[in-house]
Structure 1
């Protein structure tokens, strides 16, 4: 079969994909090769001819897929030739090729070299720009990047962080790590480079006695690998002004170890990011003060700042945030950035904590003239979430029952089983005890006592029943359960703050978050819940970071514009694109210090509500505001 080099490469790519995935569809091959369905069909015919020459069959079955049938050992040589192709990610190939090409390269030439269509190439380039903030220059000659710019190194850092994985081994009572890529980074990084740098760092730690926290350890490996790769590629390194500030005390030791390991005469200027990492590690080990925006930052000063700017906190939150933010500010000063691969999940799962972290980041940013990324906000969120968990007991909303029984173990078990069988959906039995045990354990947390004996002089609701529940006992218990639920409703600040007049139901196309926020705030302002200025504050907050979560949105503004605290609800039958999510319901939080003492109760209920997709779905399907309120009451 006489075929050109490019066509042979495509055929090899398709065979490699079939060998790797065993069963594929046209869409898989299109995505992998960047070819149209018609062109893929043509190449599959060529693949079939080649496989037949090896006594193999290409099976194409509708609604099942495409696969190779026969003894695959006959393709052993072909598999080895295409191994690199299977592991190669097109995005990584583009990134590597742009960095390794000294001059601009045309889109047509780059597409040909990668064996992909021009449209696929353009799409992948946009992906690099949007997801890795890579700066790509365009000219008449083609596209290029500045390999020595901080923007390019930051993009490379983020890519490697996303695709590098480590495996731990215990060797001679010490932990050792082996690093591999989840997707291959061709030519730019030999895979063993990361493990070799890890070994260098182990020697460095042994020589200097410095302790390196795990995240920083991996960042040091990545930055060193990038700067070694760039130095090898260009054999020189332009001096960066940021490097003039100061050098790590231990940089010369690190350079000696790296140079020995890789047989390089690497210069100080080539290790700008590595130098910053080492300074950060030294600062943390030696607890050095840093100065930023003419403010001296140490843990004592930072603690005082946090106590002023955070409205609600405990000692643990201040201590943990002080430690975390000291590191964050030090990293910022040295242009060392941490990517947070979990930031979207954190934002979705912990909306209230994320908002607290965002507010703190904004205040610190203004005070210190620093920019705190959303990745860092995600890390800060975890401290606020832990604080909320300490403050709010996220227990079940069931009625907590204490059973006191004096008729013996058998009858107490029988009574417990009967009550659980009849009311398990409404109650939770905390404990079953005797009257003597009750006297010793009055600190137990419960809503109601069910007892087989009369007990007086106790400041708790008690219902006396017979060991075998009678019909009158059941009726009385039902009445008591309803009374407690009504009390719980009265104590539920979340339910109390929702008014029917502030529930808006719509069925509109193409609504935006700004449209929804405007409708909600206009309604609240017309009813004097909020005053002028709230709309602008709410829209500005939305610009700062989307308040859209996985299944709901929680827009809000500045508490200073709230006259009367309330929670407004907006339901739209058609989904609304809110940030990266699509939602049907928005809870607008118009809260101020009038409800500050009850805010923990509010968060408790709201957290449990938005984490339950079924409950949210039921609320979205409400017919009208009355139906919404009735469902909300039943769902608590």
Structure 2
């Protein structure tokens, strides 16, 4: 397998399904070339997995999970392509760790079959990476280079930079490992980690690097008696008595999840320590964005995940990226909370929390936000006119399925009875036109219940209209000059609001930083740049829709609509709910051509519900 096929396979593994446009954008190739890549990859994956297509979306169907894992690790460890800077980097680190003295640069360049200039550039990049591990490559004229590492962090360098690229010598066979440990403690993943740790210990012991200093911020929560046979077998094969730190390193895979070796007392002590860290994070997070979440409740829901997340991060255990960047972009508040939490925890334990772990936190925070938003009065729908019981039951079922909630349906014989009820309804069903006092409530024909997409469109637009009426959403639509393009067009939207005192320069700078870090352009011609708004006027969600007369290209994707969102630092239940409704509406517009077409002809003298006309 070549590097192109490996990169494509890895991208499919970390994403559920992908359009051809998403693939061509990611790999910067034409559609024709991408289809050739997919065909080539399928040939290599024969009998293991297959890239399949369904309704213009491509996805990975796995046939043999074990062989797929072996294929991935085999590619990294067996293909010694020293044209790959990451593999050269791994080779240099491993060579420096094994060396007892200085290494001459010319000799190392010859081993790598690269020029001395290329090696010096590699070393310059490597020095930047090593800084966070309190390690450095020192250079002495006429002697060469040598690796200096504090706190016995050689194990961390081997874990992070080397183990994925080199197949170390096997210290204990799988069969031996299975004999030394209870079967219910030895999952396939744990077995792989233990094998890797044994191999790293062998490299360190043979290179006269012993682990003596405690592993910072790490604490076991398991009963070590369960692992004595493993510890003894490792010591015998290595020919040394393992230090306390070496035992901790060897056995950390048993401290990545709850198992029968987990000791309740040790776990509770660790959670007390973790709560102190989380309380410190809460102070910082609330200073940046006040979502009105109950952080004590959040901690109770998330504490075990955080406990094992920190252990994973300390030992650089990789986690699959559960959410793509586009999926994460749909949950801006949860993303801000997760990012701030990860940064706060990481700073306290002196590690960097990787993106994949942050994405898991996004899910937890989004669940908390949705739970908070669900704590509201029961929604009601109304039926005006005579309908049979079976039709009423069908309407109730359809609404409950649509909203994953229990919707109460109230029947009125006449329009007058409806008006006398003086209540607000989620939607009103009637077989003839009626006039309602609340323009944010959609009135639909009873047969609309059979057209769920259109019915949902009208409800979601009406909910945003209500938010606008209550000043929870500051809403405007404007036309943008196509010549500006996406970036300058967004900048123009922001600067206009700054001139009017609605936004400030901090918002502009924050947006510019975000554009460098992530892609805010989604499918079907929509872009959703969003930033926390710390301006004093920010008491509502700002939504500015910029419309290009013709689609423009940005990062190889078409953009017709810019949905600029400013999120206040302080969020109450109404604002949280409004933000969720705005995102629902935006993605509904991206999926419904009729809504998008109506938005192109938007009349700012009419309510937002105009975009549902004729659908």
1:237 aligns with one of 191, 209, 212: 209
Q: Distance in 2 between matches of 1:107 and 1:632?
A: 68
Partners of 1:365 and 1:371 within 8 A in 2 = yes
Selected match of 1:320 from 278, 296, 301: 301
Does the 8 Å CA contact 1:224/1:271 hold for their aligned counterparts?
A: no
Once the two structures are TM-superposed, the CA of residue 288 in structure 1 deviates from its matched residue by 6.0
Tell me what 1:287 maps to: 267
Residues 331-370 of structure 1 aligned to structure 2 (within 5 Å): 335-342=314-321, 344-345=323-324, 347-348=328-329, 350-364=331-345
* Structure 1 portions without partners, runs of 5+: 1-12, 18-63, 69-82, 113-118, 164-184, 206-211, 432-442, 464-468
Matched, 1:634 2:612: yes
Maintained 8 Å contact 2:217/2:349: no
Aligned to 2:454: none
Taking a change above 3 Å as real, the CA distance of residues 602 and 588 of structure 1, as seen in their structure-2 partners, is same
Match of 2:532 in 1: 557
Cα distance in structure 2, aligned partners of 1:254 and 1:475? 75
In structure 2, the CA distance between the partners of 1:325 and 1:386, relative to structure 1 (3 Å rule), is same
Query: 2:505 & 2:76 partners in 1: Cα distance?
Result: 53
CA contact (8 A) 2:511 2:530 kept: yes
The equivalent residue for 1:379 is: 360
Q: Deviations over 1:590-616 (max 9, x none)?
A: 243787342233133134235458338
- The answer for the alignment partner of 1:475 in structure 2 is 432
Correspondent of 1:505 among 471, 480, 485: 480
Report the Cα offset of residue 556 of structure 1. Answer: 1.0
CA distance in 1, matches of 2:469, 2:157: 44
1:271 aligns with 2:246: yes
Question: Could you say if the C-alpha distance between residues 394 and 91 of structure 1 is closer, same or farther in structure 2, counting changes exceeding 3 Å?
Answer: farther
Write the distance in 2 (CA, Å) between the matches of 1:364 and 1:523.
37
TM-score, scaled relative to structure 2? 0.55
- For the structure 1 residues 221 and 525, does the alpha-carbon distance in structure 2 shift closer, same or farther, using more than 3 Å as the test? same
Are positions 1:202 and 2:182 aligned together? yes
CA 617–445 in structure 1, closer or farther in 2 if over 3 Å, else same: closer
Choose which of 434, 438, 445 in structure 1 pairs with 2:407. 445
Aligned to 1:576: 554
Cα displacement (A) at 1:535? 2.8
Deviation string, structure 1 residues 101-134 (Cα, Å, up to 9, x no partner): 566776776579xxxxxx9xx99x999x99xx99
Counting matched residue pairs gives 480
Q: Which residue of 1 aligns with 2:467?
A: 492
1:459 matches 2:421:
yes
- CA deviation profile, 1:5-28 (whole Å, cap 9, x unmatched): xxxxxxxx99xx9xxxxxxxxxxx
Matched, 1:606 2:582: yes
Preserved contact between residue 472 and residue 574 of structure 2 (Cα < 8 Å): no
Mind listing any 5+ residue stretches in structure 2 that lack a counterpart? 6-38, 44-69, 257-261, 444-461
DSSP 3-state at the match of 2:530 = coil
Deviations 1:408-444 (A, max 9, x none): xxx544x669x98xxx9xx95669xxxxxxxxxxx97
Offset at 1:236?
3.2
Contact in 2 for aligned 1:348/1:550 (Cα 8 Å): no
Give the distance between the partners of 1:148 and 1:253, measured in 2 at CA.
Answer: 32
Change over 3 Å in CA distance of 1:462–1:299 after alignment to 2: closer
SS, match of residue 567 in structure 1: strand
CA distance change for structure 1 residues 477 and 399 in 2, over 3 Å: closer, same or farther?
A: farther
Tell me: CA distance 1:264–1:568, structure 2 relative to 1, closer, same or farther (3 Å): same
Residues 1:188 and 1:90: Cα distance change in structure 2 (over 3 Å) = closer
CA contact (8 A) 1:290 1:297 kept: yes
Task: Look up the match of 1:592.
Answer: 568
For 1:530 and 1:583, how far apart are their aligned partners in 2?
Answer: 24
On the 8 A contact 2:491/2:508 being kept in 1, the answer is yes
Cα RMSD, aligned residues only = 6.4
Distance of 1:359 and 1:526 partners within structure 2 = 30
Please tell me whether residue 548 in structure 1 is matched to residue 520 in structure 2: yes
Cα offset for 1:286? Answer: 1.0
| Counterpart in the other structure of 1:6 | none
Contact 1:490 1:496 in 2 (8 A): no
* Residue deviations 1:119-153 (CA, integer Å, cap 9, x gap): 9xx99x999x99xx999989999x99969998885
Partners of 2:339 and 2:358 within 8 A in 1: yes
User: Which structure has the greater CA radius of gyration?
Assistant: 1
Structure-2 change in CA distance of 1:612 and 1:65 (3 Å): same
Distance 1:503 1:369, change over 3 A: farther
Q: How far apart are the structure 2 equivalents of 1:508 and 1:517?
A: 12
Answer yes or no: is the 8 Å Cα contact 1:302–1:326 preserved in 2.
no
